[in-house]
Amino acid sequence: MLEFKGEKLEQVWVGNEHVANIREASGHGEGPFIIEAVDGVEIHQAADLHLAELWVAQHSDDILGRPN
User: What confidence category does residue 46 fall into, taking pLDDT thresholds of 50, 70 and 90?
Assistant: very high
Tell me the average pLDDT across 26-36. Answer: 79
The closest of 68, 39, 54 to 2, measured between CA atoms, is 54
The average confidence (pLDDT) of the chain is: 84
Model confidence over 7-16: pLDDT tens digits? 577 899 988 9
* Per-residue pLDDT, 1: 44
Q: How many CA atoms lie within 13 A of 63 on its CB side?
A: 24
User: What confidence category does residue 29 fall into, taking pLDDT thresholds of 50, 70 and 90?
Assistant: low
